[in-house]
């Protein structure tokens, strides 16, 4: 009789725990009023945000080159320790792309990692960085994306083994890793450093590669931008871009690298960073200078 009571109690606690998990981790959309009063999107700024985020580096068709970079047909494979993701079509096609989405649905994906059907999105889409973006920038970006060519391409499904194919588990991941807090505290940040912080930690999502990850794929934020193994499983290492790793680089060296692709000793950009640098070169000089100022201001590792 006593055993039965204990069993019932444990069972009830387990159910409660499970209910608690789903209550805490259910996909949460953004608030309606976040998207009101933004007005017509500023397309020119949307294009700038598009370059800051490097959207085409992943969302253009594989091997599209410079000519095809504005057709966001998707399909590129993104290998990871958890399986291979396939980047979705985000062109304005009404069925294959995001042509039928509302601004709020787009914002749910960008800020909360929630898809149009209310499902959790995988953090291979770096919403854990984009969560820091302003609704105004997201409105402008969404407006710009609508001006790009539509593609009817349907990307292959993700190739993920169990348990990583269970989207409900992503609620737990978000509980641990999704927030819009600053990644580092910078005392007395001026407007330039603050702008750099927004670009690097938000749309630029630099930390997604340049910060090492733990076993669950969350960023080790105590090693912010300290570099580490290639998260895509490549042979190279991702460099440390804190003042400890960029020892000997001045602010103008960093800005010049982002503009030209040349390091201070005239080695050149390579690997995945080559595509990033091409996007950085499209930005106004003040954005590159802001990024450089921020990288000099963060804690050294």
Question: Which residues form the interface with other proteins (CB under 8 A)?
Answer: 234-237, 239, 256, 260-262, 265-272, 274-275, 277-278
Nearest CB to other proteins, comparing residues 90 and 280: 280
Minimum Å gap between C-beta 275 and other proteins is 7
Q: Which of 237, 233, 280 is nearest to 255 (CA)?
A: 280
Residue 138 C-beta: closest distance to other proteins, Å: 29
- Minimum distance from CB of 279 to other proteins (Å)? 12
Give the three-state DSSP class for 72.
coil
Residue 121 near residue 128 (C-beta atoms within 8 A): no
Q: For other proteins, which is the closer residue by CB, 131 or 269?
A: 269
CB 290: neighbour CB atoms within 10 A?
24
* Residue 137 or 251 having the CB closest to other proteins: 251
Work out how close the CB of 116 gets to other proteins at its nearest, in angstroms, rounded to a whole number.
34
Nearest Cα to Cα of residue 224 among 282, 272, 175, 185: 185
The residue among 2 and 235 lying less far from other proteins, judged by its C-beta, is: 235
With H, G, I as helix, E, B as strand and everything else as coil, classify residue 49: helix
Structure token pair of residue 62: 């594989």
Shortest CB 70 distance to other proteins, Å: 19
Sign of the torsion angle spanned by Cα atoms 232, 257, 64, 94: positive
CB atoms within 10 A of CB 169: 15
Nearest residue to 156 via CA among 89, 111, 105, 201 = 89
Closest CB to other proteins among 94 and 234? 234
Distance, CA of 76 to CA of 80 (rounded, Å): 13
Which is closer to other proteins, CB of 46 or CB of 212? 212
CB of 251 to other proteins, least distance (A): 15
Cis peptide before 118 (omega within 30 of 0): no
């Amino acid at each position: 009789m006593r055993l039965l009571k204990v069993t019932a109690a444990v069972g009830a606690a387990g159910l409660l725990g499970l209910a608690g998990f789903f209550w805490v981790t259910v996909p949460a959309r953004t608030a309606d009023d976040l998207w009101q009063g933004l007005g017509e999107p500023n397309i020119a700024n949307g294009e700038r945000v598009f370059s800051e985020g490097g959207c085409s580096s992943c969302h253009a068709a594989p091997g599209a080159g410079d000519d095809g970079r504005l057709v966001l047909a998707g399909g590129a494979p993104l290998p990871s320790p958890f399986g291979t993701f396939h980047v979705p079509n985000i062109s304005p096609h009404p069925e294959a792309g995001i042509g039928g989405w509302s601004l709020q649905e787009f914002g749910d994906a960008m800020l909360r990692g929630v898809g149009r059907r209310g499902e959790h999105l995988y953090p291979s889409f770096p919403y854990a960085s984009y969560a820091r973006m302003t609704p105004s920038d997201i409105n402008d970006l969404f407006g710009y994306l609508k001006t790009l060519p539509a593609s009817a391409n349907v990307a292959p499904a993700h190739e993920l083994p169990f348990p990583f194919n269970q989207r409900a588990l992503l609620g737990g991941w978000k509980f641990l890793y999704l927030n819009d807090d600053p990644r580092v505290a910078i005392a007395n940040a001026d407007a330039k450093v603050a702008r750099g912080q927004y670009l690097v930690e938000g749309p630029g999502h630099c930390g997604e590669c340049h910060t090492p990850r733990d076993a669950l794929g969350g960023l080790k934020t105590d090693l912010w931008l300290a570099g580490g193994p290639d998260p895509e499983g490549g042979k190279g290492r991702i460099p440390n871009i804190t003042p400890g790793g960029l020892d000997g680089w001045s602010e103008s060296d960093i800005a010049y690298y982002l503009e030209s692709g040349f390091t201070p000793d005239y080695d050149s950009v390579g690997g995945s960073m080559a595509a990033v640098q091409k996007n950085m070169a499209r930005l106004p000089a003040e954005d590159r200078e802001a990024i450089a100022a921020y990288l000099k201001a963060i804690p050294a590792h």
